[in-house]
A and B are shown apart, each in its own frame.
Chain A
Amino acid sequence: MQASTHTDSHSHDAHGGHDHHEPGFWQKYIFSTDHKVIGIQYGITSLMFLFFGFLLMLCMRWQMANPGQPIPVVGSWLHAILGDEMVAKDAQGRVGVMMPDLYNSFGAMHGTIMVFLAIVPLAFGAFGNFVTPLQIGACDMTFPRINMVSYQCYFLGGVLMLASFFIPGGAAKSGWTSYSPLATVAGGGHHPDGQTFWLIGMVALITSSLLGAVNFITTIIQLRAKGLTWMRMPFFVWAQFVTGFLLLLAFPPLEAAGVLQLADNMLGTSFFLPTGLVVSGQPMHVSGGGSPLLWQHLFWFLGHPEVYVLILPGMGIVTEIIANNTRKPIWGYRSLVYAIMGIGFLSFIVWAHHMYLTGMGTKISTFFQTTTMMISIPSVIILTALFISLWGGSMRFNTPMLFALAFLPMFGVGGLTGLPLGFNASDIFLHDTYYVIAHFHYVVAPGTIFALFAGIYYWYPKATGRMMNEFWGRVHFGLSFIFMNLVFMPMFIQGMEGMSRRMYDGGASYAAAAGSTGLGAFVIGLNKNITYAAFGLGLAQIPFIINFFWSITKGKKVTSDNPWHATTLEWQTPTPPPHGNFDKEIEVFRGPYEYSVPGAPTDYTTQNEPDKQAPLTHGNPVRS
């Protein structure tokens, strides 16, 4: 993808003589240490996982909308691949009915894949790798080989997760949270089972994140261009920096916990297994004395910072694109920086709000709900600053901007609906309902995923030298926006009426029956609407997929290195950037978003523009 200008810009490259021979295909694309190639590797792999995770959910949605009906077409494929244990026949003998174990497997793997194999690697691995060194004016990451190993660990983790579908007993089926003791007993007689693969896969994925995090933090601290002070860093870089710390500090506890659960499952230890378990009427032969809650604490100590790992890079991308397309500086840049640091710190002390109903007393739950309310403040500050940044702009509505703008109210819905879940008292009712599903999907799907789409459309010309098609980009946006909301909005109704999540039959068992209260026909019927909308959402991605691949060779060529007239450093490289990135010395003289500076000759003043041509401001516009 980026071979075109590689050789010609190479000759006057100033950084070191380590690569004066032309690398072969394997070295250039597969075992590359170039951050851009690694970024693209991450990007393609994670997009494929994103689509795969979506397809898993589509199968589940069919089952929820039509319990016990064979899945059309795909059902027989699934049967051919996974066998009778997972896919059964219906009463008429038609093959392709998803079994409860398969439903639980797909559910657990949908969550795992979307979080650990799709969103995090796309947001942090792909965008972080490709954009961060360019935006700070570095020639590569500090540790290019560690960077390569990080991708390879991720790839290994992904392969293990995928392989687990095909082993006897199928993939992990205890939810993406893998609570003990269920995770230990759910495998039935299978050893090793899907959970074993899940745990080893997670160890690989967390190792990958750790290597990435160390690299990002070091790179951002060490390799910033001359003059790029902290308060002149693009907000995207800040977001990646804070995300790096979250990954570094929050993920190791789950890596340790994963090894302990592996020992529980394979070696007969009882780290998370209490005394006196009786499973299927038989006393379980383990020593006992462990604590199921210990697993929950270790999991959510990762799990909550993880939520911010999912959202912060998205906020960073949106900030870049909003500044660029409003043609004005981001309002309150400093408050954004302090807010994101605040989120980083606070995200480590809110984890137990996922555990309110585990028998928590008033004191502990007061602590955790207070910190949870506190963390909503910096989130509101960031969202408000982005909203206010629109005021006074001269907005262009290109595809990246449409996705970035839609992010704001969509993340708003996701964030606001976190409030009644964060208050422990209202959570007593809303706990485990579809309200929770709707809430976090609004944060991650029309929130983060829209931000990631925005980023793909925005940086695509830098990576490939060609634009993606604008018309089909808008079609992709419009349809995705409509269908996203048609998928997730009805879930608030379902949740508010008390429908529980993770129901194989879509809640039909809890339908109101004669003489007992329960779910009404309307809320259960919404499952059908949601399923149709999810199918529509899948179709809406076709223009994107075609556009993405078609534009690599057929898209409109960019005629300058800075097609969006942006201010940040990544647009100061040749296009696509060669190995080593910059063909000139980069020195930074100003803040990241100097758009429409009064008296400047153009409506954008790049960060490396020397003093004379535009009035010098330090970072942020000064206001009284």
Chain B
Amino acid sequence: MNNPSSDQKPTESSASGGLFFLFGLAVVAVFTWFAFTSISPAHLPINVSSAPQSKGIDQLIWLVHLLMAVLFIGWLLYFFYTIFRFRKERNPKADYVGVRSHASTWLEGIVAIIEGVLLVGFAIPIWANASYNFPQEKDSTVIKVIAQQFKWNGWYTSINGKFAKQDRHFVSPDNPFGLDKTDPNFKDNFFVSSDLVVPINKPVLAYVSSLDVIHCFKVNPLRVTQDAIPGMVIPAHFTPAQLGTYQINCAQLCGNAHYAMHGTLKVVSAEDYAKWVADHTKSGGGAGGGYE
């Protein structure tokens, strides 16, 4: 044996080793099953956007998880076979060199190549679509989404599609967005709070900003997420392709009522949308009465 000088062996308990090993195997079998039902893109919520990036997001999530599953199952199979085969009771003398093959280097190379393919083939083009290929304003429903503690303001225009001017000098308690009420476009603008409405099958161009702290505009079924950062106006776009009402999440801690800062985004038909806009322009009579 290779342990002649074992004057004491405080750590060994060979008899219970095998039992413990079996117990471990059972635990891990359960664990593996658990892992693969948990970390599965099958749990993704419905995707109702037809913007070029949104299907890609789901595809990429599936492909990455496929890669993860293959690697993880491979590791686990190897891991348990190794623990079984090279336990002390079965293999009393260790091999000084161990694995002689270089298969692992190839494996690492293959993983790197797959990551590269996912990067170039999916992640970068999807991102370019989401953050760069914006629809033209004239072809889109343009909304300014202004977050504040703890609600979502939607700033719309009715006929001419032009927004009134904003300046911080106009900011007052009854004019938190600092609108220039003398601007001729002001009459065509209106505001809604927390419940936004957009028409179906037309790109939505949302200019996302915030009045106070950082929020994040996130609508899961539309696969759109954009931080709302004070001092910045950041565009985001999506194309709703299914009627319905979808929740707007605030996805950035924004204060003590962060958990309750949800809004809704209602997707309606083009006719309903036109009616909704007309109603708001008429009843609001300009932005002054529209918000709060």
Q: Is the CB of B99 within 8 A of A391?
A: yes
Cβ of A396 under 8 Å from chain B: yes
Return B136 CB to nearest CB of chain A, in Å: 19
Measured CA separation A69–B94 after assembly (Å): 57
Give me 24 A-to-B residue pairs in the complex whose CB atoms sit less than 8 angstroms apart, sorted by A's number: A288-B231, A292-B214, A293-B232, A327-B2, A328-B94, A328-B96, A373-B116, A385-B104, A390-B79, A393-B95, A393-B98, A394-B87, A394-B93, A409-B75, A416-B71, A416-B72, A425-B53, A426-B123, A432-B249, A496-B44, A504-B258, A509-B262, A516-B246, A563-B10
- What are the residues of chain B within 8 A of A423 when measuring CB–CB? 60, 64, 118-119, 122-123
Return A535 CB to nearest CB of chain B, in Å: 19
**Complex interface residues of chain A between 568 and 599 (CB less than 8 A to chain B):** 595-598
- What are the residues of chain A within 8 A of B262 when measuring CB–CB? 509-510
- What are the residues of chain A within 8 A of B93 when measuring CB–CB? 394, 596, 603
Residues of B within 8 A of A (CB): 2-8, 10-13, 17, 20-21, 23-24, 27-28, 31, 34-35, 37-41, 43-46, 53, 56-58, 60-61, 64-65, 67-68, 71-72, 75-76, 78-79, 82-83, 86-88, 91-100, 104, 107-108, 111-112, 115-116, 118-119, 122-124, 126-128, 130-132, 148-149, 168, 171-173, 176-178, 211-214, 216, 218, 220-221, 223-227, 229-232, 234, 244-247, 249-260, 262, 264
Return B50 CB to nearest CB of chain A, in Å: 16
Cβ of A277 under 8 Å from chain B: yes
Dominant secondary structure of chain B at its interface with chain A: mixed
Q: Is the CB of A384 within 8 A of B108?
A: yes
Q: Is the CB of B172 within 8 A of A376?
A: no
Return B181 CB to nearest CB of chain A, in Å: 16
Measured CA separation A498–B104 after assembly (Å): 36
Q: Beyond A182-B253, A424-B127: 14 further Cβ-contacts under 8 Å?
A: A179-B253, A275-B168, A276-B231, A283-B172, A393-B95, A393-B98, A428-B57, A496-B41, A504-B258, A509-B262, A510-B249, A517-B244, A563-B8, A623-B100
Q: Is the CB of A496 within 8 A of B216?
A: no
Return A176 CB to nearest CB of chain B, in Å: 10
Most buried by A among B45, B46, B67, B83: B45
Using known A-B contacts A370-B119, A420-B64, determine if residue A596 contacts B256 with beta carbons closer than 8 Å.
Answer: no
Using known A-B contacts A276-B171, A392-B86, A623-B100, determine if residue A432 contacts B251 with beta carbons closer than 8 Å.
Answer: yes
- What are the residues of chain B within 8 A of A381 when measuring CB–CB? 108
Residue of B nearest to A102 (CB): B256
Q: Is the CB of B212 within 8 A of A181?
A: yes
Q: Which of B76, B131, B171 contacts A361 (CB 8 A)?
A: B131
Measured CA separation A602–B94 after assembly (Å): 12
Q: Is the CB of A485 within 8 A of B31?
A: yes
Cβ of A271 under 8 Å from chain B: no
Measured CA separation A185–B149 after assembly (Å): 11
- What are the residues of chain A within 8 A of B128 when measuring CB–CB? 362
Cβ of A441 under 8 Å from chain B: no
Using known A-B contacts A175-B253, A384-B108, determine if residue A598 contacts B96 with beta carbons closer than 8 Å.
Answer: yes
Measured CA separation A113–B33 after assembly (Å): 33
Q: Which of B3, B122, B168 contacts A602 (CB 8 A)?
A: B3
Residues of A within 8 A of B (CB): 99-101, 104, 173-175, 179, 181-182, 185-186, 274-284, 288, 291-293, 326-329, 331, 357-362, 365-366, 369-370, 373, 376-377, 380-381, 383-385, 387-398, 402, 405, 408-409, 412-413, 416-417, 419-420, 423-426, 428-433, 461, 467, 470, 474, 478, 481-482, 485, 489-490, 492-493, 496-498, 500, 502-505, 507, 509-510, 515-518, 556, 558-560, 563-565, 595-598, 601-603, 621, 623
Most buried by A among B39, B44, B107: B39
Measured CA separation A295–B232 after assembly (Å): 15
Using known A-B contacts A276-B230, A390-B86, A517-B221, determine if residue A409 contacts B253 with beta carbons closer than 8 Å.
Answer: no
Q: Is the CB of B4 within 8 A of A496?
A: no
Measured CA separation A181–B99 after assembly (Å): 54
Return A574 CB to nearest CB of chain B, in Å: 16
Measured CA separation A417–B69 after assembly (Å): 10
Q: Is the CB of B107 within 8 A of A391?
A: no
Q: Is the CB of B247 within 8 A of A517?
A: yes
Using known A-B contacts A100-B259, A377-B108, A509-B262, determine if residue A326 contacts B122 with beta carbons closer than 8 Å.
Answer: no
- What are the residues of chain B within 8 A of A601 when measuring CB–CB? 4
- What are the residues of chain A within 8 A of B254 when measuring CB–CB? 182
